[in-house]
Structure 1
Amino acid sequence: MPFYRNIFLNSLKISWRNKYLWFFGIFASFLSTSGGYETILSAINGDRMNYFPGINGFSEAGLFHSGTISNIQIIISNGSAGDIAQVLFVVLLITGLSLFLAWVSVVSQVAIVSESVSMRKAKITEVEGEDNIKRSLVVGKKYFWKVFGLNVLARIVLGTFFTVISILVISQIGTHDSFLFELFFVIMYVLFIALTLSISFIAKYSIAFVIVKNKNIVDSVKLALNLFVKNWIISLELAFMLFSLNFVVGLIVMFATMVAIIPFYFFSMLVYQVMGFLGFSLIAIPSLIIILLGVTVAGAILTCFQISSWAGLFLELTSRSEKKSKIMRVAESIKK
């Protein structure tokens, strides 16, 4: 069976048949483990906060706005004990939720990788039993700090690259003619994309070395770097295929959502004419919840599929047999 087809088919079977992985897929999606695409899109949008999606969400909510911070300072300085207690409660609540989300996201990422690798090694695509989630959580907690450290390290490195390249580009504004500046900008942009994808692949392989081979952070990064250098074309090919699949699935989900909304909307408006706002709410709210659940499940399955695919590629690349990229195989067939 063709190389990539085997990886994708097993990933699809694992993701679909083991529905307990969907739970982990929901939270693992917060890590944006889509192969570096979100970072490239961040560069296109010029939004550095997208490197840290959790912080970005709080920023959009206005939690880090200068006015919000000033108000908090005023309350602490001049407010009553009750006001200060409320502020501290909100801050602690947000901090606690953020830490919990970080913990469960990393644990979910570890669980999907571990379960996918275990099933592939056992040459099965489904695990029977009632303690699957408990077993996965135990593994996730075991490797939490290492995987969390690798995720943070990858974000810091990517953010550093983005900042340095941005400074270089800004420093050249107005110093050359338009053609030379545009050429310099294109070169820097291509360099940033290459670095982004490279760091993303190395991070994925490092995480796999930690979970599968039980390596420490330093050794896992070294081994991952070596693995990526030897198989960078294969890594790019898989990333491109997953990106294309992500795009297609996104269009399908968006179209399906629109199709589902239309009949619910007209039915809700019909009920509104007869029963008023109460009737409208009784139809619209459950309908919206059902649609959101459907989108969430679809996203969870897609996340499981993507992480499982990278885990499958890791096993293939670390096996004894040497793997060749699709481009190399096509080139060799043309020569013959």
Structure 2
Amino acid sequence: MIESINFKEDLLHWYYENKRQMPWRETTNPYYIWLSEVMLQQTQVNTVKPYYNAFIKAFPTIEDLSNAKEEEVLKYWEGLGYYSRVRNFHEAVKEVHESYNGVVPTDPTEFKHLKGVGPYTNAAVMSIVHNHPLPAVDGNVLRVWSRLTSNYADIQLQKTKKTFEEELMPYVQTNSGDFNQAMMELGATVCTPKNPICLFCPVQTHCEAFHQGVVTELPVKKKKIKKKTVNYVVLYITNKNGEVLVRKRSAKLLHNMWEFPMFEHDESIHSIEEELDAVIDIESEPEFTTKHVFTHMTWNMEVYRAYTQKNSFKAPYRWISKQQKDQLSFSTSMSKIFSKMNR
């Protein structure tokens, strides 16, 4: 724990004077603040802003979102990635609508039992909305606190996060929401992963890593596990009407989103035709190659133009016009492919 009693005062003074303008900081609506925290997981603020504004315009109340179909909700999330976030949020909002009369629980012990609400989301929402004394420890806070205390523990270990939460507990007994946001703001704008702006840090005098000259050595992270790479052939199949063949995914990754037929690279044209139960005329050379990087996996994709005379396909396949593409939810990688194939 940092000894100086002025640490929190210095941090909050800086935060009140310098905090960035964000739409979710201009509301006390717990549904909106909860939504913002879900969107901000693994995603930058500038990316989130337009999605947040569009989402609350489409689903301004818990009842509106609760009554919406998953396909429609996914459409408003398209491009943000990590789609399990919005599926869990949608399910949790339905539970709030059905079991809590549309009112987000004010008790952290109740709120944390909603689908997708982990320790961080629980602490962030409950402290910001209701000032509950809970430290919200995300990646920014882990980095800031490891430097402030010159702690060389691996921040990717759960026990390190637990230790940091315990050490931060005294600081959230009052003004918890502001303190949590100030710590996150400091990490996002000053105490950044690379090239931290130590000379302008409002709590520099309290930072042990700065005084020891070891800021760039912290935080400590274990080596990442090597990502799996999968090579795919993606078929952009059209018919005589200019329609495009798509299918709905059943796999857990990007579940229920739409994609162009894709098969692992070592599969033959015969197995592909057998899968589709159709004769497919595929161009001999790929139109282009692309890749999409997930947190745990990389897709390398060769995209081919193809044609078939078959008029109809059974689910999960279907023909769509190019205009209908915007009515369905596609992943970022598939949307990029669509754009390139229609230049």
TM-score (norm 2): 0.27
The structure with the largest helix share of the pair is 1
Query: Which structure has greater strand proportion?
Result: 2
TM-score by length of 1: 0.27
